[in-house]
């Protein structure tokens, strides 16, 4: 492979909540760079993950799920997602192959209908889809836009992921790499740590509290060559939510801290002393000042 044929570019992962965009990103990159929970609308910040092959480098931009905004945080999420379109060479419109188009699929498709970007249709969840009857569903999704092709894949079992990567490279320009070899993500460490903690909160409390959870890293210092000290605050919207996150005699918070620490140590390659605090910031998702303070700006 000659240098002239090396390809590199930005690919935005687009779609409504809960279609598996973050899981797909992690599979494409080959490492976990985005948090994944059973709850929709998990991703809040633009997450970049980088895939390298002999053919070139793909920089993936994971976006928050597209839905009709109902509060300030939702408005931020849609604005954040749309900002990723400006940087994209290719857009992956990811949909759920187990169901026909949802109204939020149609909303997401409308927002990219007139952009001057190459768009690939990605039918996800092939591992659990009704494959013999999938063609009519795919045809319904094809009506939502002018696609340059696509693939039916499973972000869980890796079905057709190599095919999707090849289709992406067909559309990318010849270009040198944007990031040094071996880079997996451009996330700042503080953001990555905050996301790991938020993931554990969402996984631990399951359906007991809504998505009114934000995590802010207050301190992140190296105490020695072998130890980081990290202090983080988990913000929730109600006193009752705080009681759930803390749990009886602090057991839930201890479990969240333990699992978070394990993930952070794997990320940083060092031992971590993690101090976790829980505070109430009433209705912060509707508060411009709170959104800015928590990093959503």
Which domain covers residue 266, as residue numbers?
Answer: 189-293
Binding residues, by number, are 15-22, 62-66, 124-127
The per-residue pLDDT for 224 is 82
214 and 164 assigned to the same domain:
no
Counting the structural domains of the chain, the total is 2
Closest CA to 191 of 288, 62, 92, 285: 62
Residue 20 and residue 135 share a domain:
yes
Question: Could you read off the pLDDT of 13-30 as tens digits, one per residue?
Answer: 999 888 988 889 888 887
pLDDT of residue 135 exceeding 50: yes
Q: Which residues are annotated as a binding site for GTP?
A: 15-22, 62-66, 124-127
Both 85 and 26 in one domain: the answer is yes
CA distance 297 to 134: 40
pLDDT digits (tens, 9 = 90+) for 174-208: 988 887 666 666 556 777 788 889 889 988 887 65
Distance of CA 243 to the CA centre of its chain: 28
Q: At which of 171, 203, 219 does a domain end? A: 171
Would the pLDDT of 229 be above 50? yes
CATH of the domain at 283: 3.30.300.20
With a cut of 70, say whether residue 273 has pLDDT above it: yes
Would 22 be classed as within a structural domain?
yes
- My answer on whether 123 and 209 are in the same domain is no
**176 in a structural domain:** no
Q: Are residues 14 and 71 in the same domain?
A: yes
125 and 235 together in one domain: no
The answer to the question of residue 214 being in a domain is yes
What are the beta bridge partners of residue 118? 90
Q: Supply the pTM of this predicted model.
A: 0.63
Q: What percent of the chain has pLDDT over 70?
A: 80
**Domain stop point among 171, 206, 239:** 171
For the ranges 165-169, 279-283, 284-288, the lowest mean pLDDT is seen at 284-288
């Amino acid at each position: 492979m000659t240098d002239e044929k090396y390809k590199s570019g930005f690919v935005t992962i687009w779609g409504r909540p809960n279609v598996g965009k973050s899981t797909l990103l992690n599979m494409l990159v080959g490492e976990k760079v985005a948090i994944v929970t059973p709850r929709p609308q998990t991703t809040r910040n633009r997450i970049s993950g980088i895939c390298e092959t002999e053919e070139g480098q793909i920089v993936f931009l994971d976006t928050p799920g597209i839905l009709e905004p109902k509060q300030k945080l939702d408005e931020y999420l849609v604005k954040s997602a749309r900002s990723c379109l400006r940087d994209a060479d290719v857009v992956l419109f990811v949909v759920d192959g187990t169901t026909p188009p949802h109204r939020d699929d149609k909303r997401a498709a409308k927002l990219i209908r007139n952009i001057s970007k190459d768009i690939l249709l990605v039918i996800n969840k092939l591992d659990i889809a009704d494959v013999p009857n999938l063609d009519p569903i795919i045809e319904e999704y094809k009506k939502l836009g002018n696609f340059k092709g696509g693939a039916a894949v499973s972000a869980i079992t890796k079905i057709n992921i190599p095919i999707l990567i090849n289709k992406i490279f067909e559309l990318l320009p010849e270009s040198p790499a944007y990031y040094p070899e071996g880079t997996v993500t451009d996330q700042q460490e503080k953001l990555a740590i905050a996301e790991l903690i938020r993931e554990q909160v969402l996984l631990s409390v399951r359906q007991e509290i809504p998505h009114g959870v934000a995590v802010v890293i207050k301190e992140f210092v190296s105490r020695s060559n072998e130890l980081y000290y990290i202090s983080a605050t988990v913000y929730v919207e109600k006193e009752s939510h705080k009681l759930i996150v803390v749990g009886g005699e602090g057991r839930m918070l201890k479990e969240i801290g333990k699992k978070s620490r394990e993930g952070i140590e794997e990320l940083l390659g060092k031992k971590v002393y993690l101090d976790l605090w829980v505070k109430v910031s009433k209705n912060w998702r509707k508060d411009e000042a709170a959104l800015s303070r928590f990093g959503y700006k």
